[in-house]
Amino acid sequence: MSKLDTLLAIPSLDRTSQQQMQAAVDGKAKPPRALGRIEELAVQLALIQNKPLPAVRRPQLLVFAGDHGLTSSGVAAFPSAVTVSMVDTLLAGRASANAFARVVGAQVSVIDAGVAADLSDRQGLIHAKIAMGTQDASEHPAMDMDQAVSALLVGASIATQAIANGADLICLGEMGIGNSSAAALIIHRLSPAPLQSCVGPGAGHSPEGLAHKHKVLAKVAARTEATDPLDVLAQFGGYEIAMMAGALLACAKARVAVVIDGVICSAAALVALRLAPQAREYCIFAHASVEPGHKIIMDALQAKPLLDLDMRVGEGTGALLAIPLLQAACALLSDVADLKDVLEASA
Ligand SMILES: O=C(O)c1ccc[n+]([C@@H]2O[C@H](COP(=O)([O-])O)[C@@H](O)[C@H]2O)c1
Ligand SMILES: Cc1cc2nc[nH]c2cc1C
């Protein structure tokens, strides 16, 4: 069995105790189903962790960073060099994700998946660079198959390590100028939906800039008819997307819940779940990105994000904001009285 086959051999979520967990939630001191989706999360976490009292005490955010050769075709409003600057900002604890992580008590790790700069001198960075950014996908596949598979496996081993170090919840996030283009192409091929409906302004675009992005991405899409998930990943990139997909699969394998951020992270989830659909039940979709491709993924995966805050930053910001909801779901099971005791006391 290849390493990839081993990673993809994920057992389906064991639902043996589902009725029992549902009964525990139903028996809490509240009107039936009155805590709505928090109740669903409680059951999901109990099944994932295989414990009647699941807990989220050591959440960990993994922010994967990578650059995209396609930016040389002018698909992004910001220059590629912003990827390095934001990696430095994340390392300095000054990005939105760091601020939110402090609020919710999460640890943050930043990973160089494929930034187009030598970052070997950066302290505190996880050095996992596969290449100095992807190839320009308008001319060539963004990466070759070996690079795509390596990135999946490296992402998986980073998540596995975080879990071995004690993380009981993994949040995924990314940073990469140009990666909304890679995400749009992946969504188009794997959902599948017309390319035009998958393309949005990304980190920001003038109407003219967005029209140019549509044109370039149509040319990229016309270069290949790939629909196989691994092939699509290799054709369109990028390294941070591949590593997030691998990390998601490793979480499912380790029975750890994994929180999915915005549109780029969700595109990585789409790749992972096309490769191993059983991993779906370990995923928590945190928030509805305003980027149009996000809703297409949610529909394709029959997922409903927890939050809708008009966000589109990335970095794992939305995933972090879902942590208190997950902790509330755990507290429902551990801290709330039983309805029968309340009713007996009132009799
Ligand atoms: O998370 C999202 O839904 C999201 C939506 C649009 C843009 N982003 C962020 O913006 C960057 C990609 O945008 P772009 O325009 O450079 O392709 C990348 O660093 C992402 O983290 C993130
Ligand atoms: C400033 C900036 C911060 C980001 N964080 C994630 N993606 C980003 C894109 C930009 C442009």
CATH of the domain at 114: 3.40.50.10210
Same domain, 99 and 177: yes
99 and 139, same domain (yes or no): yes
Residue 225 annotated in active site? no
> Could you report the per-residue pLDDT of 279-315, keeping only the tens digit for each?
999 999 999 999 999 999 999 999 999 999 999 999 9
Rounded to 5°, the CA angle 262-266-270 comes to 170
Q: Is residue 2 part of a domain?
A: no
Please tell me whether residues 88 and 116 are part of one structural domain. Answer: yes
Q: Which ligand is nearest to the CA of 180?
A: 1
pLDDT at 48 (0 to 100): 98
Token pair 């960073």 is found at 65
Residues 304 and 335 in one domain: no
Identify which of 78, 264, 265 to mutate to test ligand 2's pocket (most ligand atoms within 8 A of the CB).
Answer: 78
Position 340 scores a pLDDT of 97
Q: What is the pLDDT of residue 116?
A: 98
**Whether the predicted pLDDT of 267 surpasses 90:** yes
Tell me the per-residue pLDDT of 211-239, one tens digit each, with 9 for 90 and over: 999 999 999 999 999 999 999 999 999 99
**pLDDT tens readout for residues 90-132:** 999 999 999 999 999 999 999 999 999 999 999 999 999 999 9
Atom of ligand 1 nearest to the CA of 183: 17
Question: What phi and psi, each to the nearest 5 degrees, are found at residue 327?
Answer: -65, -35
Tally the domains of the chain. Answer: 2
Q: What percent of the chain has pLDDT over 90?
A: 99
Which of 113, 108, 84 lies closest to 96 in space, CA to CA? Answer: 108
Whether 6 is covered by a domain: the verdict is no
Q: Check if the interface score ipTM surpasses 0.85.
A: yes
What is the 123 CA–ligand 1 centroid distance (Å)? Answer: 25
Tell me the pLDDT tens digit for each residue of 47-97.
999 999 999 999 999 999 999 999 999 999 999 999 999 999 999 999 999
**Residue 10 located in a structural domain:** no
- Residues 264, 336, single domain; the answer is no
pLDDT of residue 103: 99
State yes or no: pLDDT of 205 exceeds 90.
Answer: no
Closest residue CA from atom 6 of ligand 1: 202
Burial class (CB in 10 A: 0-12, 13-18, 19+), 328: middle
State residue 1's pLDDT score.
87
Q: What is the pLDDT of residue 70?
A: 98
Nearest 5°: CA angle at 291, between 289 and 295? 70
Same domain, 74 and 205: yes
Residue 187 lies in a domain: yes
Same domain, yes or no: 100 and 27: no
Q: Does residue 167 register a pLDDT over 90?
A: yes
CATH number at residue 336: 1.10.1610.10
Residues 179 and 165 in one domain: yes
Whether 144 and 255 share a structural domain: yes
In a domain? residue 185: yes
Q: Using pLDDT thresholds of 50, 70 and 90, give the confidence band for residue 188.
A: very high
Residues of the domain holding 67:
59-325
- Residues 85, 135: one domain? yes
| Domain identity same for 27 and 132 | no
